[in-house]
Structure 1
């Protein structure tokens, strides 16, 4: 990777270490963002729209919210984009759109609980992609945690009563995690640009990218589904991202890794409370294995 010599704008210079009060606020912000994440599956299912349509309108309403937010904060004045970072941002946006589409497809074929837990194997996908694409070293310790996570994944799959539909749903969740990983390894190489602007470019790109595939004729029949779609764009793509980016500036990696587990826990609770779905005892054994493995990888980086 070539190191850029471009000067970082003063507004994007590294901030001083957060105070305990700021760190507490960051923890509350990230917790709120993860709780919102846990409700995504309900919003997708309740919208009644096809996955392509859901992602399309998530991009539309998310782009509107983020554009207004960036305009109000004056972020467009010093955007920091170069041809290289804009290209990387766009590529990450393509991967993000595929990520959302496969995840929402998985909700239709398996429970939100199982899809979310399988999807939460993202950190290991990032590790493997780093090794495959950038020759980053996978230590024996990381390989051990990968084995633990894989064991947990098999248990979560419910090996005793899998059917073709459930397997397909899990496959889509794994594909979503793969594209999340690709988006992560590409986007993290975008430096000197506010993350809000990166997110805005990516969701805006999703609009023309999905337009040929989204069956917009169903839009007239959505009815109350519009409220759920607007919620996905405003709450889960606008408010949630703003909360996350604000929290990341105030928290160490260790706390971010721990609080990230609010997301799957919230998703499991929502799936049980709204649809009566629950994971079996065998599947429940796999959840702490994936959780422990994810923490084992992330906390070591702190």
Structure 2
């Protein structure tokens, strides 16, 4: 029998897995808001329940054997964890000042900060095309943010501006985690994520107000869901899909996340964006794809980006930082 159908079947399975992971990412904001507790509390319990669920999964799969961690790799994973944990806190904080829709789209400018940080810290090459796409993304960001002159001169909604600032800060922190974590090679991404979750428990404990949770009641289900569904299940689906998909498909399917987030925000809370804000979304999408897929100024994909991804190697499994959120979000996408 030919092995071609098997390869196609694996890619189809990977596409389904990543789509499901991005759909889960898109519903994360609803779980955060419905939990009814502060952002730092939310992140603390996401780390706590996520550690239990993902730890049990790793134990059942035997991932702790031959884990390949070295002191340096463990240190890099932990540093990435510091960035990813506070990235979650600021992203969740941004929901309150803006909306899930606006915060998610602004947050989705992460690839450009990854590009800039890579160039700044590791001298990654920046081409004219990448700078051009950065300009396109910046225009899109201005449109989506919906900030007026009165907002900047103090006559607008200060909470809205603060929310936008938190979303941008979250995106920068996610980018920092991406740049650091992708240097942790040869270690399963599940284990890297687990290290970051465990670190998050201790890191956020001083910022957590446990007394707020005394009256949560049934709302505990939202917090458990964030740890089990939006952390363990989402990561397992995401990391599994990365091994089966070429980079272009990963980049395209990552945009299921903001699309679902906007739909969920509208369906549950009735939040929608203006026509002017909507004009900025395709600019950010096009710019992100242009950077990730190596499109030229004329919008043609580079030959390298068009080539199929190589077969996954055991020593390069770690794609915690490959996103989108996603989102995809290492410890999280999102």
- Pairwise TM-score range, normalised by the shorter structure: over 0.9
Q: Which whole-Å CA distance do the structure 1 matches of 2:127 and 2:22 have between them?
A: 30
CA RMSD of aligned residues (A): 1.4
CA contact (8 A) 1:49 1:225 kept: no
Query: Deviation of residue 159 (structure 1)?
Result: 2.8
Provide the secondary structure at the position in 2 that maps to 1:224.
helix
Q: Which whole-Å CA distance do the structure 1 matches of 2:130 and 2:293 have between them?
A: 12
- 1:205 aligns to 2:199 (yes or no): yes
Match of 1:219 in 2: 213
CA contact (8 A) 1:103 1:115 kept: yes
Query: Deviation of residue 279 (structure 1)?
Result: 0.3
Match of 1:196 in 2: 190
- How big is each residue's C-alpha offset from its partner over 1:238-289, in whole Å with a ceiling of 9 and x where there is no partner? 0000000000000011000000000000000000000000000000000000
Moved more, 29-38 or 162-171: 162-171
Q: Which whole-Å CA distance do the structure 1 matches of 2:122 and 2:192 have between them?
A: 22
Match of 1:173 in 2: 167
Query: Deviation of residue 219 (structure 1)?
Result: 1.3
Query: Deviation of residue 225 (structure 1)?
Result: 1.6
Which of 258, 261, 270 is matched with 1:267 structurally? 261
Q: Which whole-Å CA distance do the structure 2 matches of 1:48 and 1:224 have between them?
A: 11
Consecutive unaligned residues in structure 2, runs of 5 or more: 1-5, 152-156, 295-303, 306-334
Q: Which whole-Å CA distance do the structure 2 matches of 1:171 and 1:159 have between them?
A: 12
- How big is each residue's C-alpha offset from its partner over 1:109-128, in whole Å with a ceiling of 9 and x where there is no partner? 11100000000000001001
Consecutive unaligned residues in structure 1, runs of 5 or more: 1-17
Query: Deviation of residue 88 (structure 1)?
Result: 0.3
Provide the secondary structure at the position in 2 that maps to 1:212.
helix
Could you state the TM-score of these two structures normalised by the residue count of structure 1?
0.93
What number of residue pairs does the alignment pair up? 287
Match of 1:233 in 2: 227
Query: Deviation of residue 199 (structure 1)?
Result: 0.5
CA contact (8 A) 1:153 1:290 kept: yes
Query: Deviation of residue 152 (structure 1)?
Result: 0.2
- 1:110 aligns to 2:95 (yes or no): no
Q: Which of 1 and 2 has higher RCO (CA within 8 Å, sep 6+)?
A: 1
